[in-house]
Structure 1
Amino acid sequence: MTTTTGKKELSLEQREELLQTLKTRFEKNMDRHKDLEWEKVQAKLEANSEKLWSLNEMERTEGEPDVVDYDKKNDEYVFYDCSAESPKGRRSLCYDREALEARKKHKPENSAIDMAAEMGIELLTEDQYRALQKLGNFDKKTSSWVETPSDIRKLGGALFCDYRFGHVFVYHNGADSYYAARGFRGLLTV
């Protein structure tokens, strides 16, 4: 929900439901965030309504966000999409706006970069994607766009990753391509 002031906020009921979902996932997957305490995470979330809204968008699009790291220097918790496959509500997207506008026929509804920006999150980088795979096996049937270096993007390409045969693979495609089995995974710091 967006308020009349333009702030992205959840209703009290939505906040409580989301916090309960996140707490349940946090407690079920303690191997992803050893030595972290839910109460401290929750306090940070409750103090950041726009970040809660973004987490709700991650949840709404079936990303199953969870805490994967704590940045001591900046006192921030790092959430990644931890759904087994690339989030269902974020598939069939080309890479960015430029690629979307370049398509003459059969344009997808949106691009990964634009959708992430609308949600208030960022695409994972290749290194972050590899770090996620150390917490489990993700994208065994799907693939996910990752942040693409500008030199590759300038030439019309974009990168995506998946997990096959016990390894993370990084591939390239035209940035204007899109597939039903390719989405993107995001991250949010709170």
Structure 2
Amino acid sequence: MNSSNNLNHIQTIAQLEALPAIQAIKTRFEAYPQRHGGISWKDLAAYLIQHLDQLAVLLRMEDTGGEVDLIAHDQLPFVGPIFLDCYQKAPKERESLCYDQAARLGRKKFPPASSVLEELAHLGSDLLTPDQYLAIQAHFPLDEKGSSWLLTPPAIRELGGALFGDYRYQTSFIYHNGAESYYKGRGFRTYLLLTDWPKS
């Protein structure tokens, strides 16, 4: 079921919290207060009610297994708070994907059903860059068992490569693969910047 359909009726916090995906996000939000930089759930919920377009993206992130949470930290390279895919293990909706459509169509054998950039077009959220990924990992380690595709510079992609990262031995690593490769356990993490969040 797609939670992002028919959101125009959402006018109160109670109506927002009636959505199953929001219930899951609220539970996660309350479980990890260290991620939120002092932002309250009440203020966040009020923001989402006023920004239904961003709410729709958030729900798509959650519906595809993102296990989304709010991240707010003054040492991260974002101009405001973000919703981030914080899953511990890549969900089936996010794994076994090559990097982009050109790589997928270029495979001679066993092409995957989709690619990361094709899925991003449906989600509406943004793929983490290597620098963003490393900054987040320094404070909130993820990918301790799997790995994530990362937004790849055009110069690398034009030569056939794509970047991914993981976290091992209490250290973040950035690697490369052919863009046409895909693996179980390699997903992709996206974020949604709360563009109208009040500046502190």
TM-score between the two structures when normalised by the length of structure 2: 0.82
What runs of 5+ residues in structure 2 fail to find an aligned partner? Answer: 195-200
Q: Compute the RMSD of aligned alpha carbons.
A: 2.5
Question: How far has the Cα of 1:18 moved from its partner?
Answer: 2.4
Sequence identity of aligned pairs in percent? 44
The residue that corresponds to 2:20 in the other structure is: 17
Counterpart of 2:142 in structure 1 is 138
Match for residue 44 of structure 2 among 41, 44, 58: 41
The question of whether the paired residues in 2 share the 8 Å contact of 1:54 and 1:119 is answered with yes
Output one character per residue of 1:125-146: Cα deviation in whole Å (capped at 9) or x when no partner: 1122122223433111211000
Q: Is 2:119 aligned against 1:152?
A: no
Which residue matches 2:114?
110
TM-score normalised by the chain length of structure 1: 0.86
Secondary structure at 2:173's aligned position in 1?
Answer: strand
Retained in 2: the 8 A contact 1:9–1:49? no
**Count of paired positions:** 184
Find the residue that maps to 2:187 and give its secondary structure: strand
User: Which residue matches 2:31?
Assistant: 28
Greater alpha carbon shift after TM alignment, 159-168 vs 80-89: 80-89
CA contact 2:37–2:71 (8 Å) conserved in 1? no
The residue type equivalent to 1:154 in the other structure is E
- Paired residue secondary structure (1:104): coil
Alignment partner, residue 58 of structure 2? 55
- Aligned-partner residue type, residue 49 of structure 1: L
2:188 to 179, 184, 190: 184
Post-superposition offset of 1:96: 0.7
